Structure 1
Amino acid sequence: MSKDVKPSPQKAGKTATSNKQNTNSLLADLRALFKAAVLIANVLPVFSGFWLALYFTNASFSDHWRLFLLLMIGSTFVMAGALIINNWYDVDIDTVMDRTKNRPTVTGNISLKVVLTMGITFTILGFILLLFTTIEATIYAFIGWFVYVVLYTMWSKRKYTLNTVIGSVSGAVTPLIGWTAIESGFHLVPIVLFLILFIFQMPHTFAIAMKKYNEYKAAEVAMLPVVYGFEMTKRQMVIYIACLLPLPFFLSSLGTAFMIIATLLNIGWLAVGISGFFTKNDLKWAHVNFLYSVNYVTILFLMMVIVTLPVFH
């Protein structure tokens, strides 16, 4: 009778370590493929838009929790699909840029055919789920997807500095997706949220483009700092930041505390922007702007939810 042969403890340990490393590598590849940070940043405004629509229509979350799940999963899938397709299409320039050279499309850890299939599948599943919410929410999601995938990724990114303006539209529609799952988008609040996100993305993206100037230049991507230089970029950043100043006052219905905090955030960012005209280290200044912009949009949209919680009324 044959006996079972048990692996040695050393071999078993090596196998377990190898499996763990493979799992960690796969998760890292998926995070890069989905652009996890970007995806999360776009999901928050969808939630904020939905929450504010409930607040302004005096609707109950408990009555709409199924709609909420369909909205959040569907919109996340659509955005994930767009980001994955962006990775698939941009593999040639991602190979040149240091910040993207570890993406699985570049390393070959996930084949381009699989990546494209994933992008299309997530997109279709997302739209199917959103169709169970409202047509208007689905339309805004499609606008965001189409602008990002076709007008930004495939058309303008490599050719025109206006690529940032075009790409900003896709990120700015996210609160409208959330809002219109409950109420029509023809309302002051979601329109202002759209404007905040649209304008915010300009200096935010310019800061990234300045930080990664050499990489964008090597990849021949038509970012503003690459084509027109840092001074022009700084001026445009300050102009866009200044355009944010009046917007909190159109959201007076969210209360005085929100308007004060939002205004202070805007003034602080404007001060950072103006300081760029006197800095000796453009890259360090761009990094400060980038960090400020990330915290700015996170705090702003979390504040919109906090000030409308029942406990504050």
Structure 2
Amino acid sequence: MLGKSNSASGISASGMQTENSSVSTVIADLKSLVKFVVLMLNVLPVLTGFLLALHFTNQQLADHLGTLVLVLVGSTLIMAGALILNNWYEVDLDKKMKRTAMRPTVTGNFSLKAVLNMGVIASVIGFAILLFTTVEAAIYALIGWFVYVVLYTFWSKRRYTLNTIIGSVSGAVTPLIGWGAVTSTFHIVPIMLFAILFIWQVPHTFSIAVRRFDDYKAAGIPMLPVVSGIEMTKRQSVIYIACLLPLPFFLISLGIQFVIFATVLNLAWLGIAIIGWIKEDHFTWANRVFKSSITYLTLLFLAMIVVALV
């Protein structure tokens, strides 16, 4: 009897382990499908734009919690839908690159039809939710979705090195979604947030292109380092980071402390890019610029949130 009991427990434990493993795999696949880190980096500016709009219109967050939930959920679904559609369309490219070889569209864990349906449904539901905030917020979300899915994914990525510039527009509109859910974006702050994100994405993406140079070359994607060389890419990255230097001074309304903090971040990122360009090999430089770009964006927008809430 004791032996049978142990055996049954063993089978049960094994079954539970299998089930837990399956759940973990599904979660991992979903995170890969929506490019979870990319998604979160895009949600942060939406939140920042919303809170800053409340700050500059002298409104209280407590009075707009419902709208905040709607704008965050709606924009997250729209961005997730766009990223899912990107994965659906690029499955042939993902098969050729090591960094994307385990995406569920490549492994077959999710069928392409299911992925397409998920992308469309997430996008539609997201737009429907955003329309309960303001039409302006929904329009900015539509612009971002259209640029990323149609102009970037479907049209330019496989054809032109300018795909990076085109794709940068989609990420740059995210704070406008949050701001536009509260009030008109005809204001210097959301315009500068757009400019910062637009410029930031170029060296950020260039660093990824250098890190994954072999992948992009194997897949035939015309990223700048593949077409024009890594030296050109590093030089262009430094130029774009330098273009961020004057922008904090247009945000003096956020306080002199913020301007100083943002300027220090700009100088630190520029220094990392320049010193690495001179002293480091290509891939070390790319890793440093990539990691510092994530730190830069996170700290900058968290600082804005602090200004908005204090």
Give the shorter-chain TM-score range. over 0.9
- Residues in 1 aligned to 2:280 and 2:205: alpha-carbon distance in whole angstroms: 21
Task: Please say if 1:77 is aligned against 2:77.
Answer: yes
What residue is the counterpart of 2:185 in the other structure?
185
What residue is the counterpart of 2:217 in the other structure?
217
What residue is the counterpart of 1:108 in the other structure?
108
Residue 280 of structure 1 and its aligned partner are, at CA, apart by: 4.1
What residue is the counterpart of 2:270 in the other structure?
270
Report the AA paired with residue 91 of structure 2: V
Contact 1:51–1:305 under 8 Å retained in 2? yes
Residue 137 of structure 1 and its aligned partner are, at CA, apart by: 0.5
What residue is the counterpart of 2:28 in the other structure?
28
Which TM-score applies when normalising by structure 2? 0.97
For the residue of structure 1 that corresponds to 2:61, the secondary structure is coil
Contact 1:164–1:202 under 8 Å retained in 2? yes
- Residues in 2 aligned to 1:39 and 1:270: alpha-carbon distance in whole angstroms: 25
Contact 1:89–1:154 under 8 Å retained in 2? yes
Residue 270 of structure 1 and its aligned partner are, at CA, apart by: 1.2
Kindly report the root-mean-square deviation, in angstroms, between the aligned alpha carbons of the 2 structures: 1.1
Task: Please say if 1:122 is aligned against 2:122.
Answer: yes
Report the AA paired with residue 105 of structure 2: T
For the residue of structure 1 that corresponds to 2:63, the secondary structure is coil
Contact 2:51–2:309 under 8 Å retained in 1? no
What residue is the counterpart of 1:289 in the other structure?
289
For the residue of structure 2 that corresponds to 1:8, the secondary structure is helix
Q: How does 1:135-150 map to 2 (within 5 A)?
A: 135-150=135-150
- Residues in 1 aligned to 2:91 and 2:277: alpha-carbon distance in whole angstroms: 36
Gaps of 5+ in 2: none
- Residues in 1 aligned to 2:9 and 2:277: alpha-carbon distance in whole angstroms: 63
Residue 33 of structure 1 and its aligned partner are, at CA, apart by: 0.6
Report the AA paired with residue 144 of structure 1: G
Report the AA paired with residue 199 of structure 1: I
Report the AA paired with residue 15 of structure 1: G
- Residues in 2 aligned to 1:149 and 1:14: alpha-carbon distance in whole angstroms: 43
Report the AA paired with residue 159 of structure 1: R
What residue is the counterpart of 1:176 in the other structure?
176
Contact 1:234–1:276 under 8 Å retained in 2? no
Residue 34 of structure 1 and its aligned partner are, at CA, apart by: 1.1
What residue is the counterpart of 1:237 in the other structure?
237
For the residue of structure 2 that corresponds to 1:185, the secondary structure is coil
Gaps of 5+ in 1: none
Deviation beyond 4 Å, 4+ runs, structure 1: none
Contact 2:48–2:305 under 8 Å retained in 1? yes
- Residues in 2 aligned to 1:205 and 1:229: alpha-carbon distance in whole angstroms: 15
1:99-135 deviation line (CA, Å, top 9, x unaligned):
1111000000000000000000000000000011101
What residue is the counterpart of 2:201 in the other structure?
201
- Residues in 1 aligned to 2:248 and 2:25: alpha-carbon distance in whole angstroms: 43
1:147-171 deviation line (CA, Å, top 9, x unaligned):
0000000100011000000000000
- Residues in 1 aligned to 2:231 and 2:34: alpha-carbon distance in whole angstroms: 33
What residue is the counterpart of 1:255 in the other structure?
255
Contact 1:50–1:175 under 8 Å retained in 2? yes
Task: Please say if 1:304 is aligned against 2:304.
Answer: yes
- Residues in 2 aligned to 1:276 and 1:14: alpha-carbon distance in whole angstroms: 50
- Residues in 2 aligned to 1:38 and 1:282: alpha-carbon distance in whole angstroms: 23
Contact 1:140–1:176 under 8 Å retained in 2? yes
Residue 307 of structure 1 and its aligned partner are, at CA, apart by: 2.1
Report the AA paired with residue 202 of structure 1: V
- Residues in 2 aligned to 1:41 and 1:137: alpha-carbon distance in whole angstroms: 18
- Residues in 2 aligned to 1:270 and 1:70: alpha-carbon distance in whole angstroms: 37
- Residues in 2 aligned to 1:13 and 1:251: alpha-carbon distance in whole angstroms: 58
- Residues in 2 aligned to 1:278 and 1:9: alpha-carbon distance in whole angstroms: 62
For the residue of structure 1 that corresponds to 2:205, the secondary structure is helix
Residue 277 of structure 1 and its aligned partner are, at CA, apart by: 3.5
- Residues in 1 aligned to 2:44 and 2:230: alpha-carbon distance in whole angstroms: 31
Percent identity between the two aligned chains? 58
Which structure is higher in helix share? 2
